[in-house]
Structure 1
Amino acid sequence: MLKPAMGLGNLLPLLYLPFAFAQSLTQGLESPTGYVPCDALISAGFRDRILTASSPEYESRIQSWWSANTRYHPWCLFQPQTTREVSLAISTLAKAGEGAGDWHIAIRSGGHGWPGSNNVVKGVTIDLGHMNNSWYDDGKKVASLEPGAKWRDIYAKLLEKYNITVTGGRDGDVGVGGFLLGGGISYYTGTNGFGCDVVVNYELVLANGTIANANATHNVNLFKALKGGGPNFGIVTRFDVEAMPAVDLAYGQILTSMEHSDDVVQSLIAFTEKVEERPHDHMFVLYEHSPDINGSIILSVTTNTQGNMNTTSFDGFRSIPALSSSWESTSLAAAANASQVTSGYSSASATLTLHLTPSLLAYATTLHTRLTTRLTQLLGPTAFLASTIFQPMPTLYSTISPQKGGSMLPPFRTNSIMWTGGVGVTGGGDAALAIAEAELLSTTQRLEVRAREEGALEQLVYLNYAHPGQDALGSYGAETVKFMKGVAGSVDPGAFWQERVPGGFKLGRVV
């Protein structure tokens, strides 16, 4: 026998339940937003820290995300200014999220990253941009950096005020937080290790709102897990890092035509093989196709961190006919400004780490040409950007980390090259980006298959450059993943960071 359909009178009590919950949060508010988590933050006293879509500053802040396809419009932006504000906000949001619908939280540091990693559509984005201070303790020789600062500003302030510098990002527009949590490749990696290796203390807010510190003597396992472990353990509100006297760099850029690609690759291999002998020298090579170039060009960025203008490490590159070349003494702050990557395009990237095999690197350059040819056919010659970056990854880099307590990044078995492919579109919206991204991933797959066939694929999929479909954390190895999951479980037993804050590479998705 069929039960009678539920009438409106029977349905009203059920409809009233979520309304009553929302009403309890908005009671006493002069202008509730109607969004449960946003109103919860306002009830906690954060009205002047909240931006909604109708706020005058909201849209300009959304446009500050680096890539156009990451410029989501959350229900509200929460912009804390202190660690205590972050703590109270997390406690508040955790309570507001008990049984409350399909919404999530995102954490934004500098605004770089793939779609969904640091912004959200349905929910709250915690925007750390106002937590952008830095200062220096001369007695400890330690600089303290807040997560929302950009590296160009960090370098400039530390230089001007204290005449010191730190191991940080090469692109001045990148934020402190994501860079250090993912590892961090620096001009100083040959002498100081990855950016995470110079962190001596993390101040962070845990899932229950507790403010904790992790260092070599306190919360030791958490300290190690944060070094490359990504956004899995809490919101880091301060990084205390080793500092050093500021010295002007010897810095240059060499622009070469594609006809000299083989010579560039040979010089890149020769440089990588000699890094251990000259650890103060650092470089990377960028193959770039952009709308204002008829085809592709090759840019080699060269640096000596001691300011040695007479280093011979880059002689191989200088012997190649150049379209333009520079070599000058400059501050790290100025070099970071010169290395900023153009923003505003919808973009995607992927990465692999390859052994230093000449045939494999030559194949990677061929794939770059194949990719640009294919995208020219599909989108037109001026509708896209495409890049291939070769970053030396010598075994030297792996020997520094253990001396400083170790990190999550796996060691390199042999001198290697980190390959990173990127695409961007200048128009055509989501459809054009979907085409460009599909072609990039096809390129990545071809290169990975060839590397596996040659036994030349290194373990690391670098988190800061990886595509969201790549298993960056899983590339660290089963034992490392087990360790990180154990740490995450101890500081976040309710899996708050895995479920309520799903963006970024999360341990909960690693098999």
Structure 2
Amino acid sequence: MKSTLAFLSYTAAARATGANICCAQLQDALDTKITLPGQSTYNTTENSYWSLQEANLQPGCILRPSSPQDVAKAVSIIVGVDGCTFAIKGQGHAPAAGFANIDGGVTFDMTSLDSTVLSHDKSVLSVGAGASWLQVYEYLDPYNLAVAGGRNGLVGVGGLTPGGGISHFSPRVGWACDNVVNFEVVLGDGTLTNANQTSNSDLYRALKGGVNNFGVVTRFDLATFPQGNLSVTKLAHDISQRKAVFQAFTDIVVAPKFDVDTSLVTVLLYNSTSKAWVISNSAVYTQPVVNPPVFAELAAVPSVSNSSEITSLAAYAKEAATPPLNWLFATATFKPSAKFMLDIFDILNGTLYSFNPEGGIVWSIALEPLPAVLVSHAAKTGGNVLGVSPEDGNSYVMLLSALWPNSASNPAVDQISREPVAKIESQARAKGLLQKFQYINYAAPYQKPLASYGAKNLEFLKGVSKRYDPEGVFQTRVPGGFKLA
């Protein structure tokens, strides 16, 4: 026991020493682009995370690069220092501690790399990895153009895209990652390179779903398409209307010909303080059509509020920032069944209703269509590694999330959050409704989304890692996120 404690103490000290040496060398090479604890720029980055779990980590220093070359130089320095680890942060949406920040190592705050440049023929938008989707949409709106990107404009391009990326436009054009025509990326040896269908095509495919396992993406070149205003309907229903809402949701998902202009998120919200459930629906139609027929059944369900508007993508994506709170995510994917959605609610209500930690907690269970037509687009752009195909049929994704203010409740919240997910998956499996796919951008740290891509894709990812990162920099020096081992 004493030897184990001594070893742990030694390795912690080694990491601290490595970080100090690393930060000193980075400061020598990159000067004011490196900030240290207590400095205002360091504090700005620390205060920008969406979750308290991430904000509470304390890196030894923070890099705010102003060019891809800065990133390349930093990686080259870091890999030369034993014990130096790093994390990569975009807009800081990932809730789990360590996914975009690090204790004692180096955090790359990519938000200064946020340029947006439209190609001469307007077919490709080059976006710095630190940009938010709102920056992208505000840039493109005057051109009547869009790209497949995040639905919340405050989410980052660099975080969402390598995990797949569900967009309002995904049924029409595929995952966000399927619309990347080129990645500019810094590899584990500090090399700055590009990956696309004709150059490093295996890396190109791996980056479409493989998250932070291969390099630091510094720029995304995204395919654009014509886009004007959207039709947006927001509905709220009393929980007593859940059967009708779930049936309307399911009828949209299972339609013989899924309407590719449809973007729907149905959310079960529960507040432990008021002990009240409510159902909200964000029903977006990507054409300027008032009361689109695809949502007629849903709109006919008696509601407590109902608003519609025709608006621009940028205006709709400009959501209010969430105050810093503790967060968690977990996910699963199911074949459509209105009856099983009722089972999901019963499980959630049975496990969450009586849990009321100090300060309260809000649970949000989002249900989002994953139609076969959405995943069919991947084959047109070199494929991805997500492991879903049209043969899987129409599905829907569940995102269970929670927000709460009291950090002392974190272990209890984590424990209780696992219970409904496990029960829901168990029942779905028994009924033949559980799909293997776990959407990595929604996954909990204890889940295995990379394995859910299938054995063949996982082996492919491991092979690409060995070819482009033979020293395993992004498996060992970037400990956050989902690793290939």
TM-score norm. by structure 1 comes to: 0.88
Give, in angstroms, the shift of residue 349 of structure 1.
1.2
Counterpart Cα distance in 2 of 1:337 and 1:297: 23
| 2:34 maps to which of 25, 41, 50 | 50
1:471 equivalent in structure 2: 448
Contact 2:258 2:373 in 1 (8 A): no
- Over 3 Å counting, the alpha-carbon distance change for 1:275 and 1:58 in structure 2 is farther
Deviations 1:238-279 (A, max 9, x none): 100111223111012101111111111001001111273411
Q: 2:466: which partner in 1?
A: 489
CA distance in 1, matches of 2:67, 2:227: 28
Alignment partner, residue 480 of structure 2:
503
Question: Quick one: percent identity of the two aligned structures?
Answer: 31
Against the structure 1 CA distance between its residues 455 and 277, is the aligned structure 2 distance closer, same or farther, given a 3 Å change threshold? closer
In structure 1, what is the equivalent of residue 314 of structure 2? 333
1:400 and 2:385 matched: no
Instruction: State how far apart, in whole Å, the 2-side matches of 1:297 and 1:235 are.
Output: 40
Asked if the contact 1:79/1:126 (under 8 Å) is kept, the reply is yes
Output the CA distance in 2 between the equivalents of 1:58 and 1:485: 35
Unmatched tracts of structure 1, length 5 or more: 1-17, 26-33
- 1:278-289 mapped onto 2 (5 Å cutoff): 278-289=259-270
- 1:290 Cα deviation from its structure 2 partner: 3.4
1:141 aligns to what? 123
Distance in 2, matches of 1:393 and 1:277, equals 10
The alpha carbon displacement at 1:311 in A equals 1.6
Q: 1:258 to 1:39 in 2, by over 3 A?
A: same
Q: What CA deviation, in whole Å up to 9, does each residue of 1:414-464 have, x standing for no partner?
A: 21111111122122x2x3121112111111101111111111110111100
What is the rounded CA distance, in whole Å, between the counterparts of 2:122 and 2:456 in structure 1?
A: 34
Is the counterpart of residue 39 in structure 1 residue 24 in structure 2?
yes
Is the 1:410–1:459 Cα contact (8 Å) retained in structure 2? no
2:459 & 2:223 partners in 1: Cα distance?
Answer: 29
CA distances 1:457-500 after superposition (whole Å, capped 9, x unpaired): 10111100000110010100000011111111100001011011
Which residue of structure 1 aligns with residue 395 of structure 2?
Answer: 416
Task: Give SS of 2:87's match.
Answer: strand
Larger Rg belongs to: 1
Supply the AA of the counterpart residue of 1:37.
Answer: C
Going from structure 1 to structure 2, the CA distance change for 1:395 and 1:163 (only over 3 Å counts) comes to closer
- In structure 2, do the counterparts of structure 1 residues 294 and 438 end up closer, same or farther at CA, with 3 Å as the change threshold? closer
Q: Which residue of 1 aligns with 2:345?
A: 365
Alignment of 1:461 onto 2:438: yes
**Any conservation in 2 of the 1:347–1:423 contact (CA below 8 Å)?**
yes
Q: How big is the shift at 1:370?
A: 2.3
**What is residue 252 of structure 1 aligned with on the other side?**
233
1:284-310 CA deviation, whole Å, 9 max, x = no partner? 101112378651211100111122224
User: Which runs of 4 or more aligned residues in structure 1 lie more than 3 Å from their structure 2 counterparts after TM superposition?
Assistant: 290-294
| CA distance in 1 between partners of 2:136 and 2:400 (Å) | 28
Map 1:420-435 → 2, pairs under 5 A: 420-427=399-406, 429=407, 431-435=408-412
Following TM superposition, by how much is the alpha carbon of 1:140 offset from its aligned partner in structure 2, in angstroms? 5.6
> 82, 85, 88: which is aligned to 2:70?
85
1:303 alignment partner, SS class: strand
Which secondary structure does the structure 2 equivalent of 1:423 belong to? strand
| Partner amino acid, structure 2, of 1:157 | Y
Question: Structure 1 residues 255, 293: CA separation in 2 closer, same or farther (over 3 Å shift)?
Answer: farther
**RMSD (CA atoms):** 1.8
Q: Bigger CA drift: 193-202 or 312-321?
A: 312-321
The count of residues paired between Structure 1 and Structure 2 equals 466
Q: Given the alignment of the two structures, is residue 216 of structure 1 paired with residue 197 of structure 2, yes or no?
A: yes
Task: Select the residue among 364, 374, 379 that pairs with 2:354.
Answer: 374
**Secondary structure at the counterpart of residue 374 of structure 2:** helix
- Aligned residue runs from structure 1 range 64-103, under 5 A: 64-71=48-55, 72-95=57-80, 97=81, 100-101=82-83, 103=84
- For 2:256 and 2:236, the matched residues in 1 are separated by 22
Aligned partners of 1:134 and 1:154 also within 8 Å: yes
- Match of 1:326, SS state, is strand
Is 1:129 matched up with 2:114?
A: no
1: CA distance, partners of 2:301 / 2:447: 36
TM-score (norm 2): 0.93
Q: 1:315 aligns with which of 286, 291, 296?
A: 296
Tell whether the 8 Å contact from 1:50 to 1:78 is kept in structure 2 after alignment: yes
Moved more, 267-276 or 280-289: 267-276
Deviation at 1:358, TM superposition (A): 2.6
Does residue 332 of structure 2 align to residue 348 of structure 1? Answer: no
* Residue 242 (str. 1) matches residue 211 (str. 2): no
Q: Deviations over 1:20-69 (max 9, x none)?
A: xx8xx9xxxxxxxx81111010121x121111112123223211101111
Residue by residue over 1:305-327, the C-alpha shift from the partner in whole angstroms, topping out at 9 and shown as x without a partner, is 12222421111111111111111
Distance 2:277 2:254 in 1: 27
Partner SS state of residue 391, structure 1: strand
Give the alignment partner of residue 436 of structure 1, picking from 390, 393, 413: 413
Name 2:46's counterpart in structure 1.
Answer: 62
SS of residue paired to 2:184 = strand
Q: Does the CA-based 8 Å contact 2:62-2:108 persist in structure 1?
A: yes
Say if 2:422 is the partner of 1:445. Answer: yes
Task: State the alpha-carbon separation in 2 of the partners of residues 252 and 138 from structure 1.
Answer: 35
Distance 1:465 1:343 in 2: 20
8 Å Cα contact 2:371/2:394 also seen in 1: yes
Shift of 1:131: 0.7
- 1:173-188 counterparts in 2 under 5 A? 173-188=154-169
